[in-house]
């Protein structure tokens, strides 16, 4: 019997990465939609319509990061509009999926990872809400980035995967490159020397925009390739990334489904309150 707790104010935004966006709304029985036009906000249009559903009494809102039919490149995604759309849809949490290259022998193809830190190597993206675009975000805000991902929400993803019997790695540093090209061999080796475990093109700025917006954000990453550093391996190719992702996509779907249920069983008031306080205390502009 599905138990509905009193936590009906909880709402989980799900940002679907490459290979997931178009199918998940059916899998999750989403029954209503907010069009991109209606979800337009101070930062512009989100990547896709918002799909609303419900898992065990917990509302979910799905968004396809790259748009329907994968039309936005990693640079072309309007990350701010996406996060703001989910905030305005009253999400308290965001669970994100992302395909990544592995930068270490310890992470094989199809392996799930819940990252706990990032290195931002993007060069052409808007990385803050606090640039005067919106009255909601006024002043100058210096958010601390440790922890980068919400630890409790990350723990929920790990628990969900374990409950399903999946092999999942706790922690890891994801390095986000600008793309859309993949890294050269020299770059790939440099990322390894920096201590990166995974490389992708989208976690930054999404993870820190979510924090600025006061949403508890965690990601489940899937390693699809070894980039191009590993001598005995095929070098990464876009088509292969999608093939490996599709072979393992059921794991991501099941983890997300289970994680929403687990989120629904928790009391999150303090976590959200603390994050809101952190945002306020990180704003250094003197209020008039
Ligand atoms: N996404 C999946 N594999 C990747 C790689 N090797 N580099 C950057 N982004 C990726």
Catalytic residue among 22, 225, 267, 271: 225
Q: Whose CA is nearest to atom 9 of ligand 1?
A: 200
The tokens of 113 are what? 């990872």
User: Active site includes 225?
Assistant: yes
Q: What pLDDT digit, counting tens, does each position of 198-226 carry?
A: 999 999 999 999 999 999 999 999 999 99
Distance in Å, CA 277 to ligand 1 centroid: 35
**For ligand 1, what atom is nearest to the CA of residue 183?**
7
- Across 28-42, 90-104, 105-119, 143-157, least confident range: 28-42
Q: What pLDDT digit, counting tens, does each position of 214-270 carry?
A: 999 999 999 999 999 998 888 889 988 888 888 889 999 999 999 999 999 999 999
- For ligand 1, say whether the CB of 227 is within 6 Å of any of its atoms: yes
What number is the average pLDDT over the span 150-168? 97
41 φ, ψ to 5°?
-140, -170
Angle between helix 79-88 and 203-213 (nearest 10): 40
Whether the predicted pLDDT of 25 surpasses 90: no
Question: Could you tell me which of 168, 202, 211, 228 has the C-alpha nearest to residue 21?
Answer: 202
Q: What pLDDT digit, counting tens, does each position of 97-123 carry?
A: 999 999 999 999 999 999 999 999 999
* Whole-prediction pTM: 0.95
Q: Would the ipTM clear 0.90, i.e. be above it?
A: yes
Which of 118, 184, 190, 241 to probe ligand 1 with, by most ligand atoms within 8 A of CB? 241
Whether the predicted pLDDT of 129 surpasses 80: yes
Which of 17, 77, 225 to probe ligand 1 with, by most ligand atoms within 8 A of CB? 225
Distance in Å, CA 272 to ligand 1 centroid: 32
Q: What CA–CA distance (Å, rounded) separates 223 from 114?
A: 11
Mean pLDDT, the chain, rounded, equals 94
Res 17: pLDDT: 85
What confidence tier does 7 reach under pLDDT thresholds 50, 70, 90? low
Q: Which residues pair with 59 in a beta bridge?
A: 11, 54
The tokens of 192 are what? 């390894």
DSSP code per residue over the chain: -----S-TT-EEEEEE-TTTHHHHHHHTT--EEE-TTTT-BTTB--SS-EEEEEETTEEEEEEETTTTTT-S-TTTS-HHHHHHHHHHTT-SEEEEEEEEEE-STTS-TT-EEE--EEEEE--SS---S-SSS-TTS-S-B----SSSS-HHHHHHHHHHHHHTT--EEE--EEEEE--SSPPPHHHHHHHHHTT-SEEESSHHHHHHHHHHHT-EEEEEEEEEE-TTT-TTSPPP-HHHHHHHHHHHHHHHHHHHHHHHHHHHTS--HHHHHHHHHHHHHTB-SPP-
Res 36: pLDDT: 97
Whether the predicted pLDDT of 283 surpasses 50: yes
Between CA 245 and CA 267, with CA 147 as vertex, the angle to 5 degrees is: 85
User: Active site includes 116?
Assistant: no
Answer yes or no: are the C-beta atoms of 41 and 85 closer than 8 Å: yes
């Amino acid at each position: 019997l599905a138990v509905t707790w009193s936590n009906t104010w909880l709402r989980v935004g799900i940002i679907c990465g490459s290979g997931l966006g178009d199918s998940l709304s059916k899998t999750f029985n989403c029954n209503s939609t907010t069009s991109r036009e209606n979800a337009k906000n101070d930062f512009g249009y989100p990547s896709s319509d918002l799909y609303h559903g419900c898992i065990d009494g917990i509302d979910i809102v799905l968004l396809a990061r790259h748009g329907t039919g994968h039309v936005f490149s990693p640079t072309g995604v309007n990350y701010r509009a996406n996060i703001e759309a989910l905030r305005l849809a009253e999400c308290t949490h965001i669970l994100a999926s992302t395909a990544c290259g592995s930068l270490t022998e310890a992470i094989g193809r199809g392996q799930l990872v819940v990252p706990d830190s990032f290195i931002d190597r993007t060069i052409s993206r808007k990385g803050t809400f606090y640039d005067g675009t919106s009255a909601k975000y006024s002043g100058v805000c210096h958010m601390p980035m440790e922890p980068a991902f919400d630890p409790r929400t990350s723990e929920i993803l790990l628990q969900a995967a374990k409950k399903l019997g999946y092999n999942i790695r706790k922690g890891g540093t994801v390095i986000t490159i600008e793309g859309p090209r993949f890294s050269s061999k020299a770059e790939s080796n440099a990322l390894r020397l920096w201590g990166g475990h995974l490389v992708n093109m989208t976690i930054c700025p999404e993870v820190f925009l979510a924090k600025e917006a006061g949403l508890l954000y965690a990601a489940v990453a899937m390693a699809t390739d070894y980039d191009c550093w590993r001598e005995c391996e095929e070098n990464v190719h876009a088509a292969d990334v999608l093939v490996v992702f599709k072979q393992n996509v059921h794991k991501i779907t099941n983890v997300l489904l289970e994680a929403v249920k687990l989120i629904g069983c928790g009391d999150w008031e303090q976590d959200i309150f603390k994050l809101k306080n952190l945002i306020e205390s990180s704003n250094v502009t003197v209020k008039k």
